[in-house]
Amino acid sequence: MAVKDKEVLMEADHVKVYFKGKTRKAPPVKAVDDVSFSIMKGETFGVVGESGCGKSTLGRTLIRLLDSTEGHIYLSGEDIAGMRGSQLKQMRKKAQIIFQDPSACLNPRRTVKQILMEPFEIHNMTGQMDVDARIMELLNLVGLDAYHLSRYPHELSGGQKQRIGIARALALEPELIICDEAVSALDVSVQAQVLNLLQELKEKLGLTYFFISHNLNVVYQVSDRVGVMYLGKMVEIADCDQLYEKRYHPYTEALLSAIPQVGEEHRTERIRLKGEVPSPSNPPSGCRFHTRCPKACEKCSQQMPELKEVEPGHFVACHLY
Ligand code: SF4
């Protein structure tokens, strides 16, 4: 699922992430189930889906915060799924993560300077470079200054805390950053500032983002391509503009119909999905969406649809196409 004439930075190849059930006899929770896609160098690949669809699990697996059960993950051509020890540590320099809740991911007992020092300490780099100068550079990159160095996280606003989270992710000059609901916990006005900052940093530093959000509106604003996930599966992947013009999967259609539009000509009728999202430990047979799909037919409950290219660069997993 690469894009023509663009370099692949990361490739997920039939990745599965299963967790043990609550009891020994309980079936495994299939959080991510046989997902394949590529992230191109310099792009923002957005991932949307309801809570519990597996998007955060997938993001964490891509940088080995979680181990995959099956499949391969290639970063710049190297399979990272089986990496251990120093190899894994080196890989972590290339791929970093920004978490959803900036309050929970910063150590409350450490100052901003100590927090930003951590990546250099972990990688034994404190003797090899002027870390103080690099920390100042990182603070400036995210719009903060020397005043913040001696502050503790509780003395900062939500937006400032997230800027520290971004600075820490940038410390080792990664190529890929997983943004895991990076603006969801912030006020709307601060969300816009942080999104603008992420965009500026992407252009300035040539970064690649894997941008996870439950909010399709936010994903649209920042992404070049979008992947739609439902119950552990990638059901549609397309260029952002392509998806806006024409979506094929009934689930994507329902998600998009929920975005408020300005102007009569853009307004579409809201599609309300019936029923709850099924449990990932006992997913429906065939197409996982068939229990809620308004267009389901008999085949849908029996046969799992494959992700197929329906037009150049546009992939859909649905028996209708
Ligand atoms: Fe709906 Fe069937 Fe397509 Fe699944 S395969 S999305 S159930 S029409």
pLDDT tens per residue, range 159-178: 999 999 999 999 999 999 99
Which residues fall within 8 angstroms of residue 230, CB to CB, at 6 or more apart? 49, 50, 53, 251, 288, 289
| Ligand 1, CB cutoff 6 Å, lining residues | 249-250, 287, 289-290, 293, 295-296, 300, 305, 318-320
Q: What is the DSSP letter of 212?
A: E
pLDDT beyond 90 at 112: yes
Separation of 250 CA from ligand 1 center, angstroms? 7
pTM recorded for the entire structure = 0.92
Ligand 1: centre distance to CA 239 (Å): 21
Closest CA to ligand 1's atom 3: 318
Mean pLDDT of the chain: 91
**Length in residues, the chain:** 321
Task: Write out pLDDT tens, residues 70-80.
Answer: 999 999 999 99
Structure tokens that stand for 321 in this block: 């196409």
Report the SS3 class of residue 159.
Answer: helix
